[in-house]
Amino acid sequence: MSTQNLDTLQASIASQRSTQNQETTPAGRSPENGKIRCLLHSIARGTLKAMLPETGTALSIDDYRITLDSMAYSLYEWVKDISALHLFATDARVLSFTSEGSHRAWKHYGAVSAAKAALEAISRNIALEFAPLGIRANCIQAGTTNTRSLQLIPGSEQLIAWSEARNPFQRLTSPEDVANVVYLLCKDEAAWINGAVIPVDGGAHIC
């Protein structure tokens, strides 16, 4: 996270404090003055080049670096910098989005696949090493969701059809399905879930 972004974040938190000091949560606990309770990492900035393309430029090491910097290493950078500034609330949740591509091979997905595998490893270590600060870290492995990012993948139409046929409920994952799990993982009752990769796909991962 850049210094400029952190300065902006600090200013935003400071501006909220005057209006939050008198508030209480439904459970009667005092709020933590605008500190971060949930950090949600969701970045789709990578390359979808093939290793051996029929036309165009092949996937390069620089492509890997850019994709991993944006989609994986940034998670650790965010958590480290926010923690150093003491901006996390007690019992904070760090959530990031992975995919089956972290352990499956799909054409054009090589760089993103490496980034997702790295993201899961980073999340596990955050779960372990930041636990003394009360931070829980988990990855959400969403099923195939018809988003703009999916549509950019070559052959996405075939992937959508295959995913619908494979799913026990014969449908794709919706953004609402994923949002519901984000909500659940932020609940007090989810405090003992830590270091997990949670499939949110209606059971497609078992098929």
Residue 20: its pLDDT value, please?
44
Edge-first strand listing for the sheet containing 36-41? 36-41, 88-98, 136-142, 197-200
pLDDT on residue 30: 47
The model's pTM: 0.82
Q: What is the pLDDT of residue 74?
A: 97
The reported pLDDT for the residue numbered 5 is 57
Euclidean distance between the first and final Cα of the chain, in Å? 38
pLDDT band, residue 29 (cuts 50/70/90): very low
Q: pLDDT at residue 39 above 60?
A: yes
- Could you tell me which residue, 23 or 32, shows the higher pLDDT? 32
Handedness of CA 100, 104, 109, 110 (dihedral sign): positive
Quick one: tokens of 29? 């606990």
Which position has the higher pLDDT, 28 or 132? 132
Say which amino acid occupies 89.
A
The model's pLDDT over 149-200, given as tens digits with 9 standing for 90+, comes to: 888 888 889 989 999 999 999 999 999 999 999 999 999 999 999 999 999 9
**Span 49-106, pLDDT tens digits:** 999 999 999 999 999 999 999 999 999 999 999 999 999 999 999 999 999 989 999 8
Tell me what pLDDT residue 154 has. Answer: 83
Res 200: pLDDT: 97
Distances (CA, A) of 181 to 24, 37, 137, 144: 25, 16, 14, 15
| CATH class entry, domain 48-202 | alpha beta
Question: Domain-by-domain residue ranges, the chain?
Answer: 48-202
